[in-house]
């Protein structure tokens, strides 16, 4: 695929982000527009490897036909490349922006040379498809008369919705927030995924016949999580509609639960009650909602301006908190990570084609380095106590450094380092510690079973729960994961539901 000798002739060159000092002044996307010739050259690097691990189990979860569309881009056949891309992925504009690219981690070229820039090429294909008008609604040829309710409008829910609608079923998506998109709308900040990109695709689904209801809570007023902006996001001007899960079952032939994993992991240490400590999703959600509602003019967000910010927890969410705080104009930002600093190259126990656990500088880290002159991350650090300013407000944190030591069973355990205690100033702290699973109030009403990790119990590939006609997919079934895995599960669940409805 590509040019047979391209990987020997051309070096890896990614599409650059906008200048960090410019982009922290706005919430526009961080990406720049690539040149076509650049992308064709990068597509030429896709070698004839024989076994394309990029689309295997260790690579792309949706089995993207990566060598095929790399070759098509190299040959200038962009419309054909889009057709191959859409064959396996409903929303490449989302994965092309936010996926960490496990496909690149398992690229065969990565054994000896820098891997192919798969993610850049994927994103360019779909962006060009929309620019050229090639992406059009696809309506079913035949209506089945069957009706499916999907609870949750994140990537799993809308992937399933599109597949089921194109199979001819009536599809209704119920969303608790005031906008459709779930994690895509409120969990990922605008500079990484512009919300017009999300709305553009949602509009396509509407034209295909998918029906959406926002501000709709499946459950009762009693279990409504009032006050949790990250779980509801509907503003006071919107009336919340309540639908009983059992009523929903009577109204539809099948139900898909795709609510995500929305229970955040807390940090129950002394001082947790202090004002100024927030879950990361509260911080990110309220910022995006205010940005969309008023361009932040309504003040209905957690403002980091002129504050000393500490982000506890790494990963994509922690990085997004860093980037958002910088755009507010924070005084300083520090990121605590419990684990050691990863190596620059693969460790011996992390061989190809596994996901490379190496040190990376993401956009938020790069922006902090550009503005403040240093990386914001502090590794091997354990937060012990939040400090009170005497009036119930956050003033700082006490920490201790740790080291990771193998026990007699070969398991790593952390050990505090004596004399490493330290106090840090902090006016605002976000907790980016991951999620514990889905909320269970509505699923309890139906009597759904859960796995040992509190996720909805449903076998991967079948997606059926213990209740007839009720299915589950995405993070509420598998636990916190990637957008690309949510799309994989949404597509798979749609296939299982289609088979169930059509025998």
The residue among 81, 98, 131 that closes a domain is 131
**One domain, residues 423 and 292:** yes
**pLDDT at 183 > cutoff 60:** yes
**Strands 412-416 and 394-406, how do they pair?**
antiparallel
3-state secondary structure of 152: coil
Specify the range with the lowest mean pLDDT, choosing from 215-224, 271-280, 300-309, 439-448.
215-224
Instruction: Give the pLDDT mean for 373-385.
Output: 98
Q: In this structure, what CATH number is given to the domain that contains residue 383?
A: 3.50.50.60
Residue with tokens 């759904």: 448
272: in domain: no
418 is in which domain, residue-wise?
A: 277-431
Q: In this structure, what CATH number is given to the domain that contains residue 43?
A: 1.10.1060.10
Query: What is the model's pLDDT at position 57?
Result: 81
Confidence class for position 230, pLDDT limits 50, 70, 90: very low
Residue with tokens 């526009």: 28
Q: How far apart are CA 269 and CA 146, in angstroms?
A: 51
Query: What is the model's pLDDT at position 89?
Result: 97
179: in domain: yes
**pLDDT at 204 > cutoff 60:** yes
Q: How far apart are CA 148 and CA 170, in angstroms?
A: 6
**One domain, residues 125 and 55:** yes
Secondary structure (H, E, C), 227-263? CCCCCCCCCCCCCCEEECHHHHHHHCCEEEECCCCCC
The residue among 374, 403, 431 that closes a domain is 431
Percent of the chain with pLDDT over 90: 91
3-state secondary structure of 123: helix
For residue 414, what is the enclosing H or E element? strand 412-416
Percent of the chain with pLDDT over 70: 97
**One domain, residues 354 and 427:** yes
Instruction: Give the pLDDT mean for 96-103.
Output: 96
Buried b (16+ CB within 10 A) or exposed e, 42-59: bbbbbbebeebbbbeebb
**One domain, residues 122 and 153:** no
Half-sphere exposure of residue 451, counting CA atoms within 13 Å on the CB side?
17
β-partners of residue 256 are: 150, 471
355: in domain: yes
* C-beta of residue 255 within 8 angstroms of C-beta of residue 146: no
Q: How far apart are CA 312 and CA 287, in angstroms?
A: 18
**One domain, residues 416 and 448:** no
Query: What is the model's pLDDT at position 231?
Result: 47
**One domain, residues 415 and 287:** yes
59: in domain: yes
498: in domain: yes
């Amino acid at each position: 695929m590509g040019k047979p000798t391209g990987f020997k002739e051309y070096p890896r060159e990614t599409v650059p982000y906008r200048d960090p000092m410019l982009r922290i002044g706005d919430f526009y996307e961080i990406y720049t527009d690539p040149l076509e010739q650049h992308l064709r050259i990068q597509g030429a690097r896709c070698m004839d490897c024989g076994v394309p691990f990029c689309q295997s189990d260790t690579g792309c979860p949706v089995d993207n036909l990566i060598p095929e569309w790399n070759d098509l881009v190299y040959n200038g056949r962009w419309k054909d490349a889009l057709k191959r891309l859409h064959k396996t992925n409903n929303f490449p504009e989302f994965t092309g922006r936010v996926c960490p690219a496990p496909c690149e981690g398992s690229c065969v070229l990565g054994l000896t040379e820098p891997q192919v820039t798969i993610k850049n090429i994927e994103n360019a294909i779909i962006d060009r498809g929309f620019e050229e008008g090639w992406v059009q609604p696809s309506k079913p040829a035949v209506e089945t008369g069957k009706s499916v309710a999907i609870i949750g409008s994140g990537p799993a829910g809308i992937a399933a919705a599109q597949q089921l609608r194109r199979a001819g079923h009536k599809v209704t998506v119920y969303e608790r927030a005031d906008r459709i998109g779930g994690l895509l709308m409120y969990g990922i900040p605008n500079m990484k995924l512009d919300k017009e990109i999300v709305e553009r695709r949602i509009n396509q689904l509407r034209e295909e016949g998918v029906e959406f209801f926002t501000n709709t809570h499946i459950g009762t007023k009693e279990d409504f999580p009032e006050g949790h902006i990250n779980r509801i996001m509907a503003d006071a001007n919107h009336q919340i509609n309540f639908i009983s899960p059992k009523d929903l079952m009577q109204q539809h032939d099948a139900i898909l639960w795709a609510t995500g994993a929305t229970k955040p992991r807390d940090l129950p240490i002394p001082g947790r009650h202090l004002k100024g400590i927030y879950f990361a999703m509260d911080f990110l959600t309220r910022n995006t909602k205010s940005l969309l509602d008023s361009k932040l003019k309504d003040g209905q967000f957690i403002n980091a301006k002129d504050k000393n910010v500490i982000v506890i927890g790494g990963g994509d969410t922690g990085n997004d908190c860093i980037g958002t705080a910088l755009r507010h104009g924070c005084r300083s930002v520090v990121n605590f990570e419990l684990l050691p600093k990863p190596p620059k190259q693969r460790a011996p126990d992390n061989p190809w084609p596994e996901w490379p656990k190496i040190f990376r500088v993401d956009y938020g880290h790069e922006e902090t380095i550009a503005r403040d002159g240093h990386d914001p991350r502090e590794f091997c650090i354990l937060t012990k106590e939040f400090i009170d300013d005497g009036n119930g407000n956050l003033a700082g944190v006490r920490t201790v450094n740790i080291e990771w030591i193998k026990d007699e069973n070969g398991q790593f355990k952390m050990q505090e380092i004596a004399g490493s205690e330290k106090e840090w100033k902090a006016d605002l702290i976000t907790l980016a510690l991951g999620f514990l699973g889905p909320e269970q109030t509505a699923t309890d009403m139906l009597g759904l079973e859960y796995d040992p990790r509190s996720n909805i119990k449903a076998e991967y590939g079948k997606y059926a729960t213990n209740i007839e006609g009720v299915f589950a997919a995405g993070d509420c079934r598998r636990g916190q994961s990637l957008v690309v895995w949510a799309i994989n599960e949404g597509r798979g669940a749609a296939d299982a539901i289609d088979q169930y409805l059509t025998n």
